Amino acid sequence: MTKDFQQLKYKIFFNSLFMLFLAFLILMLLYNFVFSGRFANWTVAFLQRFFYSGQPDSYEMALNFYQYNIRTRIEWFFLFAFCLVFALVLRVYLNNFTKYFNSINQGIDALITEGTEEILLSPELSATEKKLNFIRHTLKQRKAEADLAEQRKNDLIVYLAHDLKTPLTSIIGYLTLLSETPELPPEARSKYIHISLDKSIRLEELINEFFDITRFNLTTITLDLENTNLSRMLDQTVSEFYPILTEKNLTWNVDIAPDVWILCDRDKLARVFDNLIRNAVAYSYENSEISLSMEPQKYKVEIILKNSGKTIPPQKLAHIFEQFYRADSSRSSSTGGSGLGLAIAKEILELHGGMVQAFSKDETIAFVLSLPLDCGKSLP
């Protein structure tokens, strides 16, 4: 920081020396002029001509006036002249110095413009120029990210609105058929009821996605902390997903350390695991394995979730935790989602002082979660 404005400091220092030298030079010239005799002669001649003209001893009277009223007070006149010259030189110097503030103001005004050109200031303000350009680039990047997230959200709402119509139309069709044809065989009636139930569950999932979008934008996540047996929570979550894994012929490979306790928000953390496991199930190859391991360390606990699936390109992996981002741009019924699950999971983990990272290589997708044993302390 001390070197950022070194050039400006030198400029101010040398300009100040020049100002003092100029003021001193002007005063010395004035002093030599006053005491060279010419000033006295001109003053006496002026008094004699305009104040004592026509009198026989006008010269003596003008000379006496100069001696007693001006010569004896020459120090005061000289001090007044010094102050006047210094004020004039200082005014010129300050007018020149304020150009730096004008330049900074122009740079600040340029922050809100849509132009792409760099902000340019004088060489003495190079440090300020760099900071203004950094702020400008940061603001543009944030605006671009916000616009992209808004576009993703709007596209998602359009997709969801379209998807809502499909199961709703099916439900109405099957229920109408059941209502208008009471003579349907029990097997057909049972089949249509089962299909209507599946479509209703899908409709509920889509509506929940709408609620996720609203809650994520309008609320701030807060934590209700309590001591929680993390090992038991993970075991229960694994058990809940057995039916879902069976549908895709997936199997579990679980290695959870026993009796690990942490201070956390139980419901919020359960949602994190639910979101991540659902993501793993949705993007796993059929007849593959999902592995979940949990190992406590000195100050933290590390959880690793792996599944076999299509490798995520690095450029997509870098955005996987952003709002409304989906690595799979298609919206099939099996993988279509709001793109909020991973973003919410990341926010909840960070509120606990933890973190989550995603890796994808050789058709393996891995999420590595780190949580402090005491969520009041962030990870180092």
Q: Does residue 123 carry a pLDDT above 80?
A: no
What is the predicted pLDDT for the residue at 88? Answer: 79
Confidence of residue 361 (pLDDT cuts 50, 70, 90): very high
- Torsion, Cα of 83, 88, 93, 97 (10° steps): 110
pTM for the whole thing?
A: 0.51
Dihedrals φ, ψ of 321, to 5°?
-100, 10
Look at 189 and 162; give whichever has higher pLDDT. 189
Rounded to the nearest 10 degrees, the angle between the axes of helix 230-240 and helix 266-282 is 40
Question: CB under 8 Å, gap of 24 or more: what pairs does 285-289 form?
Answer: 285/309, 285/363, 286/248, 286/249, 286/250, 287/249, 287/250, 288/250, 288/251, 289/250, 289/251, 289/252, 289/253
Q: Over the stretch 289-329, which tens digit does the pLDDT of each residue have? A: 999 999 998 889 999 999 999 999 988 888 888 766 555 55
Rounded to the nearest 10 degrees, the angle between the axes of helix 74-97 and helix 99-111 is 20
- Domains in the chain and their CATH numbers? 226-372 (3.30.565.10)
| CA–CA gap between residue 317 and residue 17 (Å, rounded) | 59
Q: Which residues pair with 372 in a beta bridge?
A: 300
What is the predicted pLDDT for the residue at 218? Answer: 45
Neighbours of 167 (CB within 10 A): 21
What is the predicted pLDDT for the residue at 231? Answer: 95
- DSSP code per residue over 56-96: TTHHHHHHHHIIIIIGGGHHHHHHHHHHHHHHHHHHHHHHH
Which of 27, 66, 26 minimizes the C-alpha distance to 46? 66
Look at 379 and 116; give whichever has higher pLDDT. 116
Lowest mean pLDDT among 22-31, 197-206, 362-371: 22-31
Q: Over the stretch 44-80, which tens digit does the pLDDT of each residue have? A: 787 777 777 777 778 778 777 777 776 666 667 777 7
63: Cα within 13 Å, side-chain hemisphere: 6
Q: Do residues 244 and 281 lie in contact, with contact meaning Cβ atoms separated by under 8 Å?
A: yes
**Do β-strands 251-256 and 364-372 pair in parallel, antiparallel, or remain unpaired?**
unpaired
Q: Does residue 267 carry a pLDDT above 80?
A: yes
Q: Do residues 52 and 58 lie in contact, with contact meaning Cβ atoms separated by under 8 Å?
A: yes
Q: What is the mean pLDDT of the chain?
A: 79
Q: Both tokens of residue 55? A: 């009198």
Question: Which residue is it, tokens 């639910």?
Answer: 274
In percent, the amount of the chain with pLDDT more than 70 equals 78
Compute the radius of gyration of the chain from its Cα atoms: 41
Which of 314, 311, 307 minimizes the C-alpha distance to 280? 307
> 105 by DSSP, 3-state: which?
helix
Question: Which residue is it, tokens 């002026």?
Answer: 46
What is the predicted pLDDT for the residue at 256? Answer: 94
| CA–CA gap between residue 318 and residue 305 (Å, rounded) | 18
| CA–CA gap between residue 281 and residue 247 (Å, rounded) | 10
What is the predicted pLDDT for the residue at 325? Answer: 59
Lowest mean pLDDT among 16-20, 151-155, 311-315: 151-155
